[in-house]
Amino acid sequence: MKRFIAVLLTLFLLITVLYKTNSFFIDKSGDAKYTHFMEAPERYDVVFFGSSHTVMGILPMEIWHEQRISTYNLGNYGQLLPADYWILKEVLSMNKPELVVVDAFTIMSDNKYGEQHLSYLHEVFDNFKYSKLKKEAISDLFPEEMWNDFLCPFSIYHSQWENIQQELFIDSCENYTYGEGSDENGFYGAKTDILVKPQETVSISSQNVNNTDTAGTIYLRKIIELCQEND
């Protein structure tokens, strides 16, 4: 009996150490964005999803100052509609926003993720709590050989031992700035000398859209259905 208890304690300590080490070494880039949202998701009436058009084009605090509507920007670089769908499912497990806004620029993409944007997807999923929903999302979005990288990212971050710096011990939610710019309710604004102007009105053409189902069209329908189910 004593040996059995000792084995259980050893396993518990091992799992705890691995979990804490994993939290310590994962990329902190997404902390300010996703941890901030998950700490108080009920604050937000409107949530935005999409790719770079959203992440650097929607300013939640400007909407708040002008309209007094609480919003959060959950867009990310290269984020495709399949990822939007699973992130929305996670959001709806915590909060029921009045409105969901989705950037459909990538609707004709037949991919569920982009190889060049995997680091940004880690920013998202590394910061989501381990759950059945997270496992379903990972198994749907990525091939089996990549599941462990997202479910247990310690497997890809363990080499960070040789790069330990003081910044790893700092609460990144309070001290992290994106590209020496800002992070306000998910909006990433990097310092730039370029004059940024509002988008002019554009005409929408359907000439590049066909009736073929793509991953984008399929998951946009799933997003719409999910929103309808949650009013």
**Angle between the N-to-C axes of helices 81-92 and 215-229, in degrees from 0 to 180, rounded to the nearest 10:** 20
Q: Which long-range contacts (CB under 8 A, 24 or more apart) does 26-29 make?
A: 26/122, 26/126, 26/127, 26/153, 26/154, 26/157, 27/119, 27/122, 27/123, 27/126, 27/157, 28/167, 28/168, 28/172, 28/176, 29/119, 29/123, 29/176, 29/178
Higher local confidence (pLDDT), 184 or 231: 231
Under a CB-based contact definition with an 8 Å cutoff, are residues 93 and 133 in contact? yes
Higher local confidence (pLDDT), 77 or 129: 77
pTM: 0.75
Higher local confidence (pLDDT), 194 or 5: 5
| Closest to 111 in 3D by CA, of 3, 9, 219, 22 | 219
Of the candidate ranges 122-131, 133-142, 181-190, the one whose mean pLDDT is the lowest: 181-190
pLDDT attached to residue 43: 81
Q: State the Rg of the chain over Cα.
A: 20
- In sequence order, what are the residues at sequence separation of 6 or more whose Cβ sits closer than 8 angstroms to the Cβ of residue 146? none
